[in-house]
Chain A
């Protein structure tokens, strides 16, 4: 009876050596003495890619690994595939492993696709006889029958990958290690790859899946390991892990946006003196998707000046990262150059592609101006920010009722919205499904 655990990792750590300051003798010596690379090196010369990661992958399970770039996903993948040895900890992989890390690695450009299939198959552990038997099916799967006798150097990158995938899945491994390979190739082929992976899973094979495509991970994985900074940040139900990961990403993004916002306001305050009064600068209009720094422009005659624009969450704190459906408050601090009786406060909400999502002002909302004779704070609260996941830009202005700008500030704020679901589009309304008759669902 075979062990029910296909991959068993206990306290895995991996230390890489920094190549900047080369100390060849050090690494050669440590390798020769049978110690892991890195142990003989100073801490400043090494990078800790994984530390203390433990998990079990059950036989027949589809196990996903998610995490940001540099979180140690690829390292873990290479350890499981047997390409790298862990610096410490133990890793046991039960059964024949096939790694879809780089498809078509080892294809020789000068010889034909057919010959490369045979060689690649032998490299991946098949016998010649097995390959000869599987050759028609491999060629059929790759969809390259018309080109199979051409040298591989004439192939497009998509054809290359298709042939590589076709060989790899015909190796029929017990543990299939899949990296970010489905991103290449066209939609139809990607679908086919996915079906193949699912079929593997249905046949009780173990799949170790690493991807940035959260949708895909959610679709096929039974359990997910969430890596952050080389450590395990969670292990369990895909839905929960993905939600944790998305929240961490938006929290990180929020910190970055907060810093960026402060820097942007500072820079624009400096620009105020040089701003052209009266009309918008020519380059401000008509750009398809200007970078935030370029898009941020200010103009106006400064009868009133916007001193600061902040976004506040429902808890009252300043932040630039929100979740779909949350309340958002725009706080505008402004002061008039002289007492004003003709003034309108307005905002405009844009996508990075400069599509206007919403624009309104105090006049549209039925507020008749009375007096504006000293520094003031104006708050606009949007009760439900039903925006889909993405980055948005906010314009803020104070102007006269006839439109003459006092201070018009394009791109005064940039913020992010994240959603726990993966709905499409910029509008994410609150919604519900109902049914009558012969349809029913269970809620997940």
Chain B
């Protein structure tokens, strides 16, 4: 608990470091922060081209597919980039841990939040796409309304999940550098195992599909689909499961990280 208070005390540090990541990332590029906006826009354009013209989607529940995919991919990109950055954050900033008294838990938090800012900057593009979708720009009009109110809560849940996972993986990476290599494979398997390219309801019943429902990321991403694409409130069971997963990840990551904490300065 005291550690949690410490983290709150370090919010100024987290703040300046997130700002630094942003500044450093776009230093020297002409468009600067616009890239955070432009990248999702280009991504949407490519999907539209591919899935409206080249590979028309056959499943009515995920039409228009370009928009459907976009709604799942934005949170996923935040997730995968955060976890990649966070897991190597202690190693990347090893000098800080070795040379100055630095609160280590700040580093995974900065990785998650910096990627979160990119997600935030992409939200206006998403909103514009959803409005265009509601007006029928992608063919079948999509519903749009109060369901978007779920977005901030989902972001909070996802941030907690990412911070917990980031804490766990960053601490583990200090002792096993293998994590970094393994992680990319695990993330690409998870990408296909999580409802992003499809909805759970559309999958054939039984067998492997049953297993996919147990994927801890499934409730959160089902909720994202409900909130963004289907314009409806996710069922309570989904909310419950997603909240439980986030809290468990946060608690487990936190306690694992703090047990290993004293070993960081020597092992990085």
Contact = CB atoms under 8 A, between A and B. Distances in A.
Asked if chains A and B come from one complex, the reply is yes
Interface of A: 16-17, 24, 27-28, 31-32, 34, 36-37, 78, 81-85, 97, 99, 101-102, 105-106, 108, 110-111, 115, 118-119, 122-124, 127-128, 151
B100 A99 contact: yes
A115 to B, nearest CB: 7
Contact of B16 (A24, A36, A102, A119): A119
A28 B260 contact: yes
Q: Which of A34, A105, A115 has the most CB of B within 10 A?
A: A105
Nearest to B21: A108
Contact of B259 (A24, A34, A37, A81): A34
Contacts of B17: 119
Given A85-B262, A105-B95, A151 B27 contact: yes
Interface of B: 12-13, 16-17, 20, 23-24, 27-28, 93, 95-102, 175-176, 256, 259-260, 262-263, 265-267
Contacts of A111: 20, 23-24, 27
A101 B175 contact: no
B260 A31 contact: yes
B99 A37 contact: no
B175 A83 contact: no
A82 B27 contact: no
30 contacts: A16-B266, A24-B176, A31-B175, A31-B260, A32-B259, A37-B262, A37-B263, A78-B265, A81-B101, A82-B101, A83-B100, A83-B265, A99-B99, A99-B101, A101-B99, A105-B99, A106-B93, A106-B95, A106-B99, A110-B23, A115-B20, A115-B23, A118-B16, A119-B17, A122-B12, A122-B16, A123-B96, A123-B100, A123-B102, A151-B27
Nearest to B95: A105
A123 B28 CA distance: 25
A124 B100 contact: yes
A32 B260 contact: yes
Nearest to A177: B101
A24 B177 CA distance: 10
Contacts of A119: 16-17, 20
Contact of B96 (A81, A85, A105): A105
A115 B21 CA distance: 12
A17 to B, nearest CB: 8
B100 A105 contact: yes
Given A102-B95, A108-B20, 18 more contacts: A24-B175, A28-B176, A31-B259, A81-B101, A82-B101, A83-B99, A85-B262, A99-B101, A105-B95, A105-B100, A106-B93, A110-B24, A115-B20, A115-B23, A119-B16, A122-B13, A123-B13, A123-B102
A350 to B, nearest CB: 44
A102 B98 CA distance: 9
Nearest to B25: A110
Contacts of A31: 175, 259-260, 262-263
Given A110-B24, A115-B20, A28 B175 contact: yes
A78 B98 CA distance: 9
B100 A84 contact: no
B16 A106 contact: no
Contacts of B96: 105-106, 123
A251 to B, nearest CB: 33
A122 B98 CA distance: 17
A34 B263 CA distance: 10
Given A24-B175, A108-B24, A115-B23, A128 B12 contact: yes
Nearest to B98: A83
Contacts of A85: 262
Contacts of B267: 27, 37
Nearest to B177: A24
Nearest to A129: B12
A178 to B, nearest CB: 13
A127 B12 contact: yes
Q: Which of A83, A115, A119 has the most CB of B within 10 A?
A: A83
Contacts of A128: 12, 16
A106 B100 contact: yes
A110 B99 contact: no
Given A99-B101, A115-B23, A84 B259 contact: no
A17 B174 CA distance: 14
Contacts of A84: 265-266
Nearest to A103: B99
B92 to A, nearest CB: 11
- Closest CB pairs A-B (n = 7): A105-B99, A110-B24, A102-B99, A31-B263, A28-B175, A110-B27, A85-B262
Contacts of B262: 31, 36-37, 85
Contacts of B263: 27, 31, 37
A82 B264 CA distance: 12
Contacts of A28: 175-176, 260
Contacts of A37: 262-263, 266-267
A34 B255 CA distance: 12
A36 B267 CA distance: 13
Contacts of B101: 81-83, 97, 99
Contacts of B23: 110-111, 115
Contacts of B28: 110
B12 to A, nearest CB: 6
Nearest to B96: A106
A196 B121 CA distance: 46
A27 B175 contact: yes
A24 B171 CA distance: 13
Contacts of A36: 262
Contacts of B102: 106, 123
Contacts of B265: 78, 83-84
A19 to B, nearest CB: 9
Contacts of B24: 108, 110-111
Contacts of B97: 83
A166 to B, nearest CB: 15
Contacts of A81: 101
Contacts of A101: 99-100
Nearest to B263: A31
Contacts of B266: 16-17, 37, 84
Nearest to B267: A27
B193 to A, nearest CB: 28
Contacts of A123: 13, 96, 100, 102
A156 to B, nearest CB: 19
Contacts of A83: 97-101, 265
